[in-house]
Structure 1
Amino acid sequence: MAMSSLSLTWASRTLPNKANVTRLIDTPRSATVPALNIIASSEEATFNEESHSTRRPLLLGAAALASSIFPTSSAFAQDVPQNYRAFVDAADGYTYYYPSDWREFDFRGHDSAFKDRFLQLQNVRVSFIPTDKADIHDLGPMEEVISNLVRNIYSAPSQVSTIYDMQEKTVDGKNYYTFEYNLTSPNFTRTAFATIAIANGRFYTLIVGANDRRWRRVRNKLKVVADSFKVLDI
């Protein structure tokens, strides 16, 4: 299914130390991400960690980051929850928190990704694709947009999808949808949160999830990640 632009047919505490803020310094990457790269069934794809060292992030002081990325406010750096770190990609226009004991890895077709050290299905990743839309409201009603994403894009044909919750919020004039969903296949079941937004001519998607057997234990932890996702003006 081609998605070269997002003209979809249905419209898819205090900062404890300096290492708690991570900024990506990397060579420019293309904004074009094939549609299959945001399908949740890609959990079964092979993780390529050989190039991890080439994308090693630079750790910056909180004050320097706040002044360079958020010149009008230092609230972002100050509000990183305990046991989380902030990932900021100023070049591609987004930021989010991730658990501080997770490590970066290459998830095929995604712009950034972090995973639990021992449980690779417990991870967060972000992708984006070009769009001619200006806001997620331009895609249609929230229920319709999320239903089509989960059932027709995130799900593989062999998977049964269930949507548990949908939420909308507005931060600094930008609108976000966050939703919880489950995908059941013959071999495994995974539950996840997704947060979507449109900015900078891009449709951004953050997905954070875990094996269904662990979901009750980690749900609240992962919800912090989903709720933290923000898009930046570039």
Structure 2
Amino acid sequence: MSTTIYSLSSVSSFSLRPRSTCSNLKFTCAIAGRSPLLSTSPHISFAVPRRQIMTALLSSYVFAQVDSLDTASALQSVGLREYIDTFDGYSFKYPKNWIQVRGANADIFFRDPFILDENLSLELSSPSSSFYKSIEDLGPPEVAGKNVLKQYLTEFMSTRLGVRREASILSTSSRIADDGKMYYQVEVNIKSYANNNELAVMPQDRVARLEWDRHYLSVLGVENNQLYVLRLQVPENVFAEEEKDLRQILDSFRVNKVIV
């Protein structure tokens, strides 16, 4: 698929107003072993008893096994946890080791505790000003994808000199979930470039460098006359490694009827 670069003026947008303001934790186990040093100096001689050597080797083996078991247990403990909001009418799964960030510009926001570029958020339109009957009110997935991209570019608009964003729609699709409702899915890539010397007079002195390269995945659903958007952000260079988990999160998203 060829890459298409979009600018802000090329697409129209829909409005989302938050109610308030595709990574798993990596574990590393390194075990270093060191054998006893036997001096060959003619002036110093150390005798290392056989029992001591065997004890040291056995201890190293035992600690290695315990450390390995701890790592395996930690890996197995990292899975997905379900988040259910009965008040606003939605649910999804997210990595157990991710933490909730309050005060973010979203109805709910989770992020990786170590890789801040990996996060998840849920936004929904205002119930008083939106009257969506179905997801098809947004048009086909391709049109919705352009609106999603416009929303991202608007949020990432920068007033810094020499900053440039490049964005492309990677894919758009629709699916019927097990709840019988249709959901749209949109994937985009956005790159941010900044000049290393934005005040330089000569163009050759203003060299653009890549600031960040991110993969964004969005799932859109409609219920309660509102538009719900679940958004995942992950660095592009780790997307392939975590794609399976990210897709499980996307597929878990559901919008539910709110009983008043």
- Answer whether TM exceeds 0.5 for this pair: yes
8 Å Cα contact 1:197/1:204 also seen in 2: yes
8 Å Cα contact 2:167/2:190 also seen in 1: yes
Cα shift at 1:122? 0.6
Is 1:208 aligned to 2:232, yes or no? yes
Structure-2 separation of matches of 1:141 and 1:119: 34
Q: Which runs of 5+ in 2 are unaligned?
A: 1-10, 22-77, 158-163, 194-210
Is 1:122 aligned to 2:121, yes or no? no
Instruction: Give the RMSD, CA atoms, in angstroms.
Output: 2.2
Is 1:149 aligned to 2:138, yes or no? no
Structure-1 separation of matches of 2:183 and 2:238: 26
Name the SS of the counterpart of 2:143 in structure 1.
Answer: helix
Name the SS of the counterpart of 2:125 in structure 1.
Answer: strand
Equivalent residue number for residue 227 of structure 1: 251
Equivalent residue number for residue 140 of structure 1: 139
CA shift in 2, pair 1:107/1:200, >3 Å: same
- What letter matches 2:140 in structure 1? P
8 Å Cα contact 1:10/1:139 also seen in 2: no
Name the SS of the counterpart of 2:242 in structure 1.
Answer: helix
8 Å Cα contact 1:167/1:179 also seen in 2: yes
Cα shift at 1:208? 0.9
Cα shift at 1:203? 0.9
User: Identity of aligned pairs, percent?
Assistant: 24
Equivalent residue number for residue 182 of structure 2: 175
Structure-1 separation of matches of 2:237 and 2:103: 22
Q: Which runs of 5+ in 1 are unaligned?
A: 1-8, 13-30, 38-81
Equivalent residue number for residue 161 of structure 1: 167
8 Å Cα contact 1:176/1:195 also seen in 2: yes
Range moving further from structure 2, 169-178 or 197-206? 169-178
Structure-2 separation of matches of 1:84 and 1:137: 30
Equivalent residue number for residue 57 of structure 1: none
Structure-1 separation of matches of 2:139 and 2:152: 18
- What letter matches 1:170 in structure 2? I
Structure-2 separation of matches of 1:10 and 1:136: 17
Decide which structure has the larger Cα Rg and report it. Answer: 2
Equivalent residue number for residue 213 of structure 2: 189
- What letter matches 1:104 in structure 2? Q
Cα shift at 1:222? 1.1
Structure-2 separation of matches of 1:209 and 1:220: 14
Task: With a CA cutoff of 8 Å and minimum separation of 6, indicate the structure with the bigger relative contact order.
Answer: 2
8 Å Cα contact 2:120/2:231 also seen in 1: yes
The structure 1 residue matched to 2:91, chosen from 72, 88, 95, is: 95
8 Å Cα contact 2:12/2:146 also seen in 1: no
Structure-1 separation of matches of 2:152 and 2:219: 13
Cα shift at 1:175? 1.4
8 Å Cα contact 2:13/2:151 also seen in 1: no
- What letter matches 1:108 in structure 2? A
Please list the CA deviations of residues 91-111 of structure 1 after superposition, one character each: whole Å capped at 9, or x if unmatched: 110000001111111252211
CA shift in 2, pair 1:175/1:118, >3 Å: same
